[in-house]
Structure 1
Amino acid sequence: MRVHESTVTSADHRLDAIAAISGVDPAMIQFLREAATSRCGSPLPSGMRRGSMRYCFQNSGDAAWRHGLLYCEGIARHPDVPMEVHHAWCMDPKTGRVVDPTWKKPEDCTYLGIAVTLSTLAACQLDCGHYALLDHGRGFETDIARRLLEGQTQAEAYVANVRASARLKNLRRSRGRR
């Protein structure tokens, strides 16, 4: 079961407006239109600390490593900000829920981006030397985006394996109780 997920195509008109007014590179918008998943936010899990504002890429990378989450990058909207911004967050591979270690009240936010495994995150960050992957302030990073698409496929496979493992574990428990 996919949690808090919708298709990006229903948001195409919104993406065009974002490209026109937000300052997000139009090439990134096109990439997200083709590859991203839209998600609603959820409260920060108890026991997880919020990082410093304006350090979302570092906060999300650190949280992904510390808590075994998937790293996500794309654009997001917070109700206190007048437009969507380039942003990073995490996703719990077991539940599909957004885990945003930067913004206050992430449950009021919306997210559009791709999820990648930690191995893809590490390789891309080592190669580019930045916490942010899709845009380092010089425009959309096409080569890294291609690698992220490969990493997204790995992330989808990882999520499927985590969920299948959980179902198998529950099945074994239920059979053991009979």
Structure 2
Amino acid sequence: MTAHQHAIEQLKNYIDALSADEQVFGPSQALQQFGSEFHPSQDASSRLPRRDAKACYTNATAYALTHRDLFYSEGYALDPALPVPIQHAWLVDENGAVIDPTWKDAEQHVYFGVAFRADFLTEMMKHSEGKCGLLVNWRLMRTHFATPELLSTGLLSKSELPIARSPCPVS
């Protein structure tokens, strides 16, 4: 098993453990049911300027709302050299590659999460009182997408995800 594969398994196991503690449909169950692996772009830094550190939800939201060829994505990321899963937001481009507007060394990270429809992101921002982040916003989740069925309407389906058509394998 490669370090990358081991990191993905670690992320999935972490999400499974969190999901077991959720009493109602929550972010971990959402990722367990709808999540997939995303692969970083090798030239991500040439695509978009980096924004503020520790502001991944704001950074990814700002770019997704102004660049319709980028999809807001949220879940967990992990640096295999420091195996601590971190809740994170990033973008997925038209080729299915991660464009991370926050981390400088994104090519070395492993990403597991979901990609949202642009119209859903826009609508949820109207309801969030300006707070960025969808799965990390429990109030927003409870009031607008508290079931798998409601959440699925806001996600890009596997066939719509650019990554489904990319040469990168999806686990």
Q: What TM-score results when the alignment is normalised by the length of structure 2?
A: 0.69
- Give the percent of matched residue pairs that are identical in Structure 1 and Structure 2: 27
> Cα offset for 1:42?
2.5
**Corresponding residue of 2:106:** 106
Q: Which runs of 5+ in 1 are unaligned?
A: 1-7, 21-25, 164-178
Residue identity opposite 2:92 in structure 1: M
CA RMSD, Structure 1 to Structure 2 (Å): 3.3
Question: Which secondary structure does the structure 2 equivalent of 1:60 belong to?
Answer: helix
Aligned CA distance change for structure 1 residues 128 and 140 (closer, same or farther; 3 Å): closer
Supply the AA of the counterpart residue of 1:49.
Answer: P
Partner of 2:73: 72
More helix by share: 1
Letter in 2 for 1:66: T
1:49 matched to which residue of 2?
49
Q: Residues 49 and 11 from structure 1, CA distance in 2 versus in 1: closer, same or farther, beyond 3 angstroms?
A: closer
CA distance in 1, matches of 2:70, 2:89: 13
Whole-Å Cα distance in 2 between the matches of residues 62 and 92 of structure 1?
14
Q: Which has the larger radius of gyration?
A: 1
Residue 85 of structure 2 aligns to which amino acid in structure 1?
A: E
Instruction: Give the TM-score normalised by structure 1.
Output: 0.67
Relative CO higher for 1 or 2, CA cutoff 8 Å, sep ≥ 6?
2
> CA shift at 1:81, angstroms?
5.1
Q: Distance in 1 between matches of 2:10 and 2:112?
A: 12
- SS class of match (2:32): helix
| SS of equivalent to 1:48 | coil
Aligned pairs (5 A) from 1:1-178: 12-16=12-16, 19=18, 27-43=26-42, 44-67=44-67, 68-79=69-80, 82-93=83-94, 95-129=95-129, 130-136=131-137, 141-142=141-142, 143-144=144-145, 146=147, 147-153=150-156, 156-157=159-160, 159=162
Alpha-carbon separation, structure 1, partners of 2:66 and 2:97: 17
| C-alpha displacement of 1:51 | 0.8
**Partner letter of residue 28 of structure 2?**
I
Contact 2:41 2:99 in 1 (8 A): yes
The answer to which of 49-58 and 67-76 deviates more is 67-76
Change (3 A) 1:66 1:128: closer
Task: Give the gaps of 5 or more residues in structure 2.
Answer: 1-7, 20-24, 166-171
Letter in 2 for 1:157: E
Structure 2 SS opposite 1:141 = helix
Contact 2:72-2:115 within 8 A present in 1 as well: yes
Aligned equivalents of 1:12, 1:48: Cα separation in 2:
29
Equivalent-residue separation in structure 2 for 1:148 and 1:9 (angstroms): 24
Is the CA contact (8 Å cut-off) linking 2:11 and 2:78 kept in structure 1?
Answer: no
Count of residue pairs the alignment pairs up: 147
Comparing 35-44 with 101-110, which one deviates more in the overlay? 35-44
- Which whole-Å CA distance do the structure 2 matches of 1:41 and 1:134 have between them? 21
Q: What is the deviation of 1:154?
A: 6.2
